[in-house]
Structure 1
C-alpha cells in the first residue's frame, strides 16, 4: 500500500490535542494526516490510563470547554464510556476543579478513531518521527520511520502535538525545559485496581475529612467537614486525594516510596474499578530514551508496592487487585516553546482574558516539583483564564503550530494549561488555524485571530 506523502496539514502526535486538531482541520476542508508512535489514539488518556478530563468548568460552574471536546464526551456517553449524569462531568468535592469527567480508555480509543476517520483524517500509526526537515526557518517536512522503512512526509503546515515539542526542537526552535535547573515535574505510571468497595471508602471519608483534600480552592468557602457531610454517593467524590496519615505510617515502615505525601485515585464508569495516581518518578528526562527506560522500570516496581499499600492501609481496598497498568508513562512536563505570546502565572491566577484568546482554562496551577512536593495556586474568584493564540505559535519558526502542554507558558501556568480540557481547546484552534494557513497560503503568525475566534464560536467552542 503506497503512502501519500503530501498534505495540507500534518498533525504529529495523536494525544487528545492532536486528535482534536486533526478533526478540526479536516472538517475545515484540509487534507490531513495524523501520525503517532502508538497503534491507537488518545495519548495519555488511553495509553497513559489518565482516567479523566480536567476540567470543563470554572469553579463557578460555567462550562469553559465545549466544541469537539464535548462532542467526544457525548459519543463516549452513548457507548457507555462516560457517565450520563451531568453530561459526563461529575461535580467534584476535590476542590481544585468544579468538575471531573471520567472516560473509559477503551471506549475513547474507538470514539476518537471513528471521529477522525469520519472527518477524513488519514492515520499513520506505529510510526516514529525521525527528524524535522526545515528550510529558511520554516518546517517543510518530517521524516518518519515505521515497519515500511523511512520516508519523508510534506505539508503546507504542521501541528506539533507531540507533547514534547519534537518538531519545533528538531527544527531549531527555541524552547524552555523544566525549572531553572532544567529539572521537570515528577512522572507517574498509572494503573487500575479492581474489586474496590467504594461505599466503604466513602464512609471512611465522611468520618475522617481531615485526611483528605476537600474544597482546597478558597472560592468554595466551606470546611472539609461541611463538604464531607454532604457526600451521599461515591460519585460525589470522583477524584479522591489524601490518606495523609496512612502514607506517613507506611513511609516510616518502608512500605511506601518517599516521593509523595498523599495518594490519588479516580472513579471509573466500571463498578468497583478505580485509576490509581500514586507513583512518583523523580529525576528523569522525558526527552531521553535511556532515562525513560529507567523510569518505566522503576514505575513498574512502584505500582505493585502502591497496590499493596492500598490493600493494607485504605478502607474498601482490602480485596482489590491490579487490573492493568498504563502502557505509557505519564509525563507532566518537558519542552515549552518560546512563543509569540507567553501564558504567565499571573495571567492564570488573575483569570485574565484577552481579545486574542482561543480557549479557556480553570484548573488549579498544579506543579509536582522535582523534590516530590506538590504545589498549588488557584485561579482567583472561581474564574477562568484565557489562552492567547500566540502561545501556540513559535516566536521565529514558520510552518508549524503547537497544541498541548508544549505551549509557550511559564512553569506554574503550564501546570494548569497542560490538563486535558484546555489542550483539546488548543487543538481545535490549532487545527482550524492550520487549515486557514493551508487554504490561504498564510503562516501561523499571520492567521487573522478574529476570524479564527469566529469559527470557534460557530463550532460551539467558548473563547
Structure 2
C-alpha cells in the first residue's frame, strides 16, 4: 500500500467497510475511522460525493427546522465549513442561505468540484482507505450475517471482509443481496420520478429576481404555513437573488410551452438553484417516469431520455424565462437523480405521522425537517409539512435490517414509509444518519456487538460529544 490510503491490497480484513461514497457513506467512513476502526470506503465512481457531485444536486437540504434551529451539525457542518474555506460554499450564514421558497428554512449551495476535494481530504486525514471505480458484486454470508463483500474492478474480482458493513449504496444493495426484506416504491412497485440535473451558464439572476418581485403568484414563496406570510409580502422582502436560492414556479410559462409541444408533460413547474459561481445555476426540471432504479436496462433508458429532456428544458428557459435568454448548457450530471429506491424493513420504521408531528424518540440518532416531498409516478408533486416548524427524530432502529446481521444502513434506504422517506432522503438527514452509522459500526467492531445490540444511549452520547444533533 502506498502512503495516504491511495492504494490497497485486496482480500484483506477491515473493522468497517462502507459501501457507497455518497454523502451518507462519506460521513459514515469518516466517523468510523475517527472512532479508531480500520475503515474502507468503496464506490463505483472515481470520486466521492454521489448525487452531490456526480449528480450535480447543487445543495444540502436542510440543516435547519423552520424555526431556524440548526438540527444537523457535527461532521456534516465540518464539510460545509471546509467548502467555505475553498470557495465552494457561501460564507454568509455558515453556508446556509435562508430559503424564500419555504419548503425548508435553509438551502446550502455546494460546488461539486470543491466537494470532491473536501470529502477526499477529510476521508484520507481520518485514515479511511479508498477503493474507487469498484462495483459490489454481492455479499458473502454466514447464516443471516454478512461477513464479506465480493467486489469487481480493473484488477478483477476479489473479496473484502469486515466485522461490520455500512450499506450506503442508496439502493440497499447489501441488504437485498443478503436476502433482507425491503419495499420498493408505492403499492404497485412504482417509484418517484427520476431527474437528470444540468447546469446553465450566463444567467442574469438580477433580471430574473425583478421578474419574481413583479409576479409573485407565478412562484412558490413561503410554502410552509408556519411562515405565515403572503407571497407578495415575501417577494417585497427579496433584495438579492441570494434571498431566493431555490426557485420553483413559472406555472403559466410551463402551461404555455406544453400547449405548444415545447416542454415535456411530466411537470407542472420548474426548479433551479443558485450556485457559488456567478451566472451559473443548477436546473431541476427534467422528469423521467416509469423507470426502475434497481434495473440496469431501465436506468439506461432513463439516462437516454434524460439527456433528450435536458436540451428541451434549456430551450424552455431560454425562450420563456427572464434572465435566461443568453444562457447555455454548461454540463449535465453523470449520475441520474434517483429519489426513491429500496427501503429496508427495519427493527423500527419512520412513519409519516411521526414526521408530520415532529415526534422525538429516546433512540433518535439524527433529525430531519425537510417537507415530505413525493414526486408521484404520475408526475404530480405532493408536499406535507412538519407541524409548528419543528423537526422529527430518526430512530436508530430504522438503520437496522430486520433479518440481516452485520449491516447498518445509512441514507435513503432507511426503514420508512413512503412520504416519510420523501423527507428523510435529503442530504442533511442522510449525513446525520451516516455519522451515527459510522460510530455504531466502530462500536460493533470494538466490542463484538451486532448492530442491533449497540447501546443506543452510549451511541447518542458519543454523537453529542462530536457535535451532532440527536
Deviations along 1:334-387, whole A, 9 cap, x unmatched? Answer: 100000000000000000000000000000000000000000000000000000
2:26 is matched with 19
> What's the counterpart of residue 148 of structure 1?
155
Out of 127-136 and 322-331, give the one that drifted further: 127-136
Distance in 2 (CA, whole Å) between partners of 1:381 and 1:313 is 37
Aligned-CA RMSD value: 0.5
Q: How far apart in 1 are the matches of 2:286 and 2:160? A: 38
**Separation of aligned partners in 1, 2:218 and 2:407:** 47
Partner of 2:200: 193
On the 8 A contact 2:11/2:158 being kept in 1, the answer is no
CA contact (8 A) 2:10 2:160 kept: no
Q: CA deviation at 1:132?
A: 1.1
Task: After TM superposition, give the deviation of residue 395 of structure 1 in Å.
Answer: 0.9
Q: Distance in 2 between matches of 1:142 and 1:257?
A: 42
Q: How does 1:187-336 map to 2 (within 5 A)?
A: 187-336=194-343
| Residue 12 (structure 2) aligns with | 5
- Which residue of 344, 355, 375 maps to 2:382? 375
Contact 2:45–2:132 under 8 Å retained in 1: yes
Match of 1:81 in 2: 88
Partner Cα distance (2:384, 2:140) in 1: 39
- Once residues 441 and 155 of structure 1 are traced to their aligned partners in structure 2, the CA distance between those partners, rounded to angstroms, is 12
CA distance in 2, matches of 1:25, 1:118: 13
Following superposition, which runs of at least 4 residues in structure 1 exceed 3 angstroms of deviation?
Answer: none
| Partner residue of 2:144 out of 137, 140, 149 | 137
Q: Which residue of 2 aligns with 1:399?
A: 406
Which of 119, 122, 132 is 1:115 aligned to? 122
Shift of 1:396: 2.0
Between the two proteins, the alignment pairs up a number of residues equal to 463
Match of 2:5 in 1: none
Q: Distance in 1 between matches of 2:276 and 2:341?
A: 31
Measure, in 2, the Cα distance between the counterparts of 1:67 and 1:133: 33
Q: What is aligned with 1:163?
A: 170
What is the SS of the residue equivalent to 2:305?
helix
Distance across 2 between alignment mates of 1:61 and 1:446: 35
CA distance in 1: counterparts of 2:166 and 2:464, whole angstroms? 21
How many Å apart are 1:136 and its aligned residue? 1.0
**Superposition pairs of residues 166-185 of structure 1, within 5 angstroms:** 166-185=173-192
Cα distance between partner residues in 2 of 1:133 and 1:185: 31
Is residue 429 from structure 1 mapped to residue 436 from structure 2 by the alignment? yes
Q: Distance in 1 between matches of 2:206 and 2:430?
A: 33
3-state SS, counterpart of residue 425 of structure 1: helix
The normalised TM-score by structure 2 is 0.98
Structure 2, unpaired ranges of 5+: 2-8
Q: Aligned equivalents of 2:242 and 2:232: distance in 1? A: 18
Deviation string for 1:176-212 (max 9, x for gaps)?
0000000000000000000000000000000000000
* DSSP-derived class of the 1:40 partner: coil
Which secondary structure does the structure 1 equivalent of 2:338 belong to? coil
Give the deviation of 1:133 after TM superposition.
1.1
Tell whether 2:377 aligns with 1:356: no
Q: Which residue pairs with 1:446 in the alignment?
A: 453
Give the SS at the match of 2:158: strand
Distance apart, 1:4 and its partner CA:
5.2
Q: What per-residue deviation string (whole Å, max 9, x for no partner) do you get for residues 224-255 of structure 1?
A: 00000000000000000000000000000000
Q: Deviations over 1:428-454 (max 9, x none)?
A: 000000000000000000000000000
* Distance (whole Å) between structure 2 residues aligned to residue 291 and residue 404 of structure 1: 22
Displacement of 1:3: 2.6
Could you tell me how far 1:134 is from its partner in structure 2? 1.3
Cα deviation, 1:99-145, whole Å, max 9, x if unaligned, reads 00000000000000000000000000000001111111011111000
Conservation of the 8 A alpha-carbon contact between 2:43 and 2:133: yes
Does the CA contact (< 8 Å) of 2:192 and 2:376 recur in 1? yes
Partner SS for 1:130: strand
Question: 1:388 is matched with which residue?
Answer: 395
What is the DSSP-based 3-state SS (H/G/I as helix, E as strand, rest coil) of the residue aligned with 1:228? helix
1:70 correspondence with 2:77 = yes
